[in-house]
């Protein structure tokens, strides 16, 4: 059996930056909070909580929060609506912004284009915190379209100008399909490709590996949007694709007959989890 890791897998720049920011702030000895889980990986969040980091889950929890003196709150990698920054400061937190720079660029695009009168279209998961954050930077109306079928049904209002942005982890193939739909229908939409390079590289390398693998393992949290998309892509190329969060979730019997086992991991998956899965597979067969 051969075990091969995708060329691009695991922590991306934005996630690593956010996690490192929390660890740096822990060195101050001051009370540290994050607004929402800093990244979508339960193991990372658990380790931070063991070091004393507290999570304010959402706006409802924020209303009830009574921060200690000198408390620092680190804004999660997914970003937050503009109004939340003001609420955090009113609560007495020192705010440290660890929003992924690629997400911050979307916030600026949405703010600038909506101030100029455009209605904002956002391609992505409406239940994802990144999308909630993006919506919170629009000065006017915005519409979230989750999938290709939503764009097939979308009909713009006559006389309105639109700007379309994408969740940073959006599927690159679906992006191409959406562009084709807009061109076919002749809609006048200003398209801004805001899918980050790391996402594109991770998806392409996972797809290439899954196309030749007998079994594929995708590592990441069930709450991670980008990991879910990796699973979809790999599953379309390799029937025996398995989505696991920790090594314990992998049933080795299911892949024992594979000649080539491919492994990839979402952007919020730490290196040690990837290594644990690799070592478990190696330990079973070698």
CATH code, domain carrying 253: 3.40.1010.20
Given this model, what pLDDT does residue 253 score? Answer: 84
> Which of 61, 77, 99 is the C-terminal boundary of a domain?
99
- DSSP assignment letter at 56: E
Count how many domains the chain has.
3
pLDDT in tens, 218-277: 999 988 989 999 999 999 999 999 999 988 898 888 888 899 999 999 999 999 999 999
What's the whole-number average pLDDT of the chain? 94
Closest Cα to residue 54, out of 79, 72, 81, 27? Answer: 72
Locate all alpha helices (DSSP H) within 116-249, ordered by sequence: 129-135, 148-153, 172-185, 197-212, 225-237
> Which of 55, 82, 99 is the C-terminal boundary of a domain?
99
Active-site amino acid positions? 130
Rounded CA-CA distance 232/23 in Å is: 33
Determine contact, residues 73/96, Cβ cutoff 8 Å: yes
Both 27 and 67 in one domain: the answer is: yes
What is the rounded average pLDDT of the residues 195-216? 95
CATH code, domain carrying 95: 3.40.50.11270
* pLDDT at 283 > cutoff 80: no
> Which of 64, 99, 134 is the C-terminal boundary of a domain?
99
pLDDT in tens, 89-118: 999 999 999 999 999 999 999 999 999 999
* pLDDT at 285 > cutoff 60: no
Both 118 and 87 in one domain: the answer is: no
**Residue 224's domain spans which residues?**
2-10+199-285
pLDDT in tens, 18-69: 999 999 999 999 999 999 999 999 999 999 999 999 999 999 999 999 999 9
What is the rounded average pLDDT of the residues 158-174? 93
Q: What is the pTM of this model?
A: 0.88
């Amino acid at each position: 059996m051969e075990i091969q890791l995708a060329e691009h897998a695991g922590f991306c720049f934005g996630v690593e930056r956010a996690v490192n920011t929390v660890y740096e702030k822990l060195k101050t000895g001051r009370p540290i909070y994050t607004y929402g889980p800093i990244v979508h990986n339960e193991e990372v969040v658990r380790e931070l909580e063991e070091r004393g980091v507290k999570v304010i889950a959402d706006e409802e929890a924020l209303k009830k929060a009574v921060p200690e003196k000198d408390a620092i709150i680190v804004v999660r990698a997914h970003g937050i609506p503009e109004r939340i920054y003001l609420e955090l400061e009113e609560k007495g937190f020192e705010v440290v912004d660890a929003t992924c720079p690629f997400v911050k660029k979307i916030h600026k695009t949405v703010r600038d284009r909506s101030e100029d009168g455009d209605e904002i279209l956002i391609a992505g998961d409406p239940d994802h915190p990144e999308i909630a954050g993006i919506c919170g930077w629009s000065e006017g109306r915005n519409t979230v379209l989750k999938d290709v079928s939503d764009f097939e049904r979308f009909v713009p209002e006559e006389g309105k100008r639109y700007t379309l942005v994408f969740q940073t982890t959006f599927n690159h193939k679906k992006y191409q399909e959406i562009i084709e739909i807009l061109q076919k229908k002749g809609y006048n939409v200003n398209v801004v490709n805001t899918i980050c390079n790391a996402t594109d590289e991770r998806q392409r390398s996972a797809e290439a590996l899954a196309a030749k693998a007998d079994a594929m393992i995708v590592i990441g949290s069930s709450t991670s949007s980008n990991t879910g998309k990796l699973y979809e892509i790999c599953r379309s190329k390799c029937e025996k694709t398995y989505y696991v969060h920790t090594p314990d979730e992998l049933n080795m019997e299911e892949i024992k007959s594979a000649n080539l086992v491919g492994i990839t991991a979402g952007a919020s998956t730490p290196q040690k989890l990837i290594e644990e899965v690799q070592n478990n597979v190696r330990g079973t067969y070698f």
